[in-house]
Amino acid sequence: MAPELIVFLVLGAVAVGSALGMLMSRNAVYSAMFLIMNFATVAVFYLVLGAPFIAMVQVTVYAGAIMVLFLFVIMLLGAEHLERRTGLDWQKPIAVVLGLVLLVEAGYVLASGQASLPAIAIPEAGYGAPAQIGELLFSQYLLPFEVTSVLLLAAMIGAIVITRRDAPKRKKN
């Protein structure tokens, strides 16, 4: 077997296993940890696919910042264990069946070869390097980049406004 295939299979098994762990574990903190593991594995996939900048962003932004935020909220709310039985238990088997249908459908489209895909190319040197990404980001995609900053500002203000406790009412004079 080619070494690349072995790397792919091992990493793929870890990715799918950690995703299943996130789905199955009863404790929300364990779920978050499994998800961090999944993100790290996908970051390695990005490295293999020639995207070092995206891999670094994945580790710092996703596995770092976003998941820390998740863990903060889980521990703040004390929501580690929260699976009381409710009246909607019949929904679970239907969900599993529908999920399998989705997977089979995707697998069928892939296996039937209607969407024939070219082989992965060997890129030129420097492909995906931060310099190239930056050049593209600040020339062709300058406007979306700036819009993103406005979006982040709006999200920040929105989060502050939503979580703010109502200020104590002042006396009316």
Partner 1 sequence: MVPVEYYVGLSAILFTIGTLGVLTRRNAIIIFMSIELMLNSANLLFVAFARTFEALSGQIFVFFVMTVAAAEVAVGLALIVAVFRTKDTINIDEVSSLRG
Q: Which is nearer to partner 1, 2 or 169 (CB)?
A: 2
| Separation of alpha carbons 134 and 139, rounded Å | 8
Q: Is 10 in the site for partner 1 (CB under 8 A)?
A: no
44 binds partner 1 (CB under 8 A): no
**By CB under 8 A, residue 66 contacts partner 1:** yes
Residue 54: name the closest of 71, 42, 36, 72 by CA.
42
**Rounded Cα gap, residues 8 and 10, in angstroms:** 6
Coil/strand/helix, residue 103:
helix
Structure tokens at 38: 């999944």
Q: Least distance (Å) from partner 1 to the CB of residue 141?
A: 5
- CA-to-CA distance for 129 and 46, rounded, in angstroms? 12
> Is the CB of 163 or the CB of 173 nearer to partner 1?
163
CB of 12 to partner 1, least distance (A): 5
Q: Are 27 and 47 in contact (CB under 8 A)?
A: no
Which of positions 79-138 make contact with partner 1 (CB under 8 A)?
A: 79, 82-84, 86-88, 91-92, 95-96, 98-100, 102-103, 106-107, 110, 117-124, 127-128, 132-133, 136-137
Closest to 32 in 3D by CA, of 80, 76, 85, 101:
80
Q: How far is the CB of 172 from partner 1 (least distance, A)?
A: 24
Please give the size of the binding site for partner 1, defined by CB under 8 A. 83
10, 131, 142, 158: which one contacts partner 1 (CB under 8 A)? 158
